[in-house]
Amino acid sequence: MPTMDTMRKAAYAANFAADKKAQDIVVLDVRGLCNFADVFVLCTGTNRVQLNAIGEGIQKGFKEMRMKTPLNEGHRSPNWAVLDYGDVLVHIMSQDARDYYRLDRLWGDAPEVDWEGILAEAEPAAARRS
């Protein structure tokens, strides 16, 4: 089974969410602040259909990469889905849930990760191996 470091895994999750038009994507490095995950990926969908599409897109993307996860479903409600990839938790939220729970602020001490930069570094390396 291929292994993927935590930050790259989070960056790919953010990218898969972006492919499904998720909004306000934020990746937070919560190592040292949280005892149940290393990275949070937060994103917003405009409605229940899009929330489901984002979650399915992330799961499909990782499945195509042959990445196995212990808990790929996590928690789902009409306004919030959590995909648990062990070291990475992906929070897919409606705007109302995002505004109410304000995870960005709750975990405000966590540095934001440049997920697009991580992907830019990872892609040329993958192309060289091919």
CATH homologous superfamily, domain 6-116: Beta Polymerase, domain 2 (3.30.460.10)
Given this model, what pLDDT does residue 128 score? Answer: 38
CB 61 within 8 A of CB 16: yes
DSSP β-bridge partners for residue 82: 75, 91
Given this model, what pLDDT does residue 71 score? Answer: 62
Domain ranges for the chain: 6-116
Given this model, what pLDDT does residue 127 score? Answer: 44
Given this model, what pLDDT does residue 122 score? Answer: 79
DSSP state letter for 28: E
- Cβ atoms within 10 Å of 34's Cβ, excluding its own: 15
Helix (H) or strand (E) holding 96: helix 95-101
Given this model, what pLDDT does residue 78 score? Answer: 84
DSSP state letter for 66: T
- Long-range Cβ contact pairs of 124-129 (< 8 A, separation 24 or more): none
Given this model, what pLDDT does residue 114 score? Answer: 96
Residues 6+ apart with CB under 8 A from 105: none
**pTM of the predicted model, to two decimals?**
0.87
* Spans in the chain with pLDDT lower than 50: 1-2, 70, 72, 127-130
